[in-house]
């Protein structure tokens, strides 16, 4: 039974790291004592150790241990034996590149498909989609491919932002960028606002949190879909 939480962000304004997800995580990870943390995305360029310490602090509040994968001699083996997995945010190019370099993409995909609970935030959510091609991040690393886990038949745009109608800035809006993506690709894109997450159980992909999502399909006008939408209906 596939089970994932795919969150737009680790942190919402005015609260601490993973705080808004804490009640959800207590239930989601109830059968796990130790969570394997994959810190490869390195937000702000921080070290794997510092990033893992941050995750440890948050999970201590719900009495979970955290093991950083970078400390494991054999990361593929660590994934295969994990009780639960958390991939944190940061730079999606760096994350995907490191997963490919360490030959972990397929291992991680098959582990998730076999039912191990997976939490992703931000970059860790982007990689659950078909490709990382709707990330907001800068291409500071060059991965061998933009294909990602494909645990859901969609792409994620994390930290989705509505156009600022008062802005004088002429750079592309997020919506324009996603429409450009659909010039070349068919995969629908879920624009997940901060505070929203997808709860995946097998084929069900349910929108959680209080906000609607912006849903983009090729050659269609984008639509707003409310909490508890099941995206399996759009597959």
Question: Least separation, in Å, of the C-beta of 11 and a copy of itself?
Answer: 5
* HEC-encoded secondary structure of 100-135: HHCCCHHHHHHHHHCCCCEEEECHHHHCCCCECCCC
| Count of residues that interact with a copy of itself, criterion CB under 8 A | 47
Question: How far, in Å, are 9, 32, 83 from residue 65 at the CA level?
Answer: 21, 9, 11
Among 2, 61, 109, 185, binds a copy of itself (CB under 8 A): 185
Nearest one of 106, 48, 100 to 80, comparing CA atoms: 106
Question: How far, in Å, are 97, 179, 207 from residue 161 at the CA level?
Answer: 26, 14, 17
Per the structure block, which two tokens stand in for 148?
A: 């990602």
Verify binding: residue 166, a copy of itself, rule CB under 8 A. Answer: no
Among 137, 199, 208, 213, binds a copy of itself (CB under 8 A): 137
Question: Least separation, in Å, of the C-beta of 41 and a copy of itself?
Answer: 10
Verify binding: residue 49, a copy of itself, rule CB under 8 A. Answer: no
Give the three-class secondary structure for 151: coil
Cα(206)–Cα(197) distance, rounded to whole angstroms?
8
Verify binding: residue 158, a copy of itself, rule CB under 8 A. Answer: yes
Residues noted as catalytic? 122, 137, 159
Verify binding: residue 212, a copy of itself, rule CB under 8 A. Answer: no
Verify binding: residue 168, a copy of itself, rule CB under 8 A. Answer: yes
Residues that bind a copy of itself (CB under 8 A): 9-14, 42-45, 90-91, 93-94, 122, 132-142, 145-146, 158-159, 161, 168-172, 176-185, 194
């Amino acid at each position: 039974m596939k089970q994932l939480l795919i969150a737009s962000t680790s942190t919402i304004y005015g609260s601490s790291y993973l705080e808004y997800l804490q009640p959800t995580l207590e239930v989601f990870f109830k059968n796990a004592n130790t969570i394997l943390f994959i810190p490869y995305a390195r937000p702000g360029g921080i070290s794997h150790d510092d990033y893992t310490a941050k995750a440890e602090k948050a999970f201590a509040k719900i009495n979970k241990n955290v093991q950083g994968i970078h400390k494991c001699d054999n990361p593929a083996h660590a994934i295969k034996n994990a009780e639960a997995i958390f991939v944190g945010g940061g730079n999606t190019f760096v994350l995907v590149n490191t997963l490919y370099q360490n030959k972990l993409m397929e291992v991680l995909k098959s582990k998730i498909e076999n039912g191990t609970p997976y939490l992703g935030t931000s970059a860790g959510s982007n990689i659950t989609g078909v490709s990382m091609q709707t990330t907001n991040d800068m291409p500071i690393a060059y991965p061998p491919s933009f294909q990602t886990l494909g645990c859901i038949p969609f792409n994620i745009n994390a930290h989705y932002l509505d156009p600022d109608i008062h802005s004088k800035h002429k750079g592309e809006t997020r919506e324009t960028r996603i429409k450009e993506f659909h010039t070349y690709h068919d995969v629908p894109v879920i624009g997940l606002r901060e505070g929203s997450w997808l709860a995946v159980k097998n084929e069900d992909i349910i929108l959680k949190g209080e906000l609607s999502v912006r849903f983009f399909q090729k050659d269609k006008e984008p639509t707003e879909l409310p909490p508890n939408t099941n995206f399996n209906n759009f597959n």
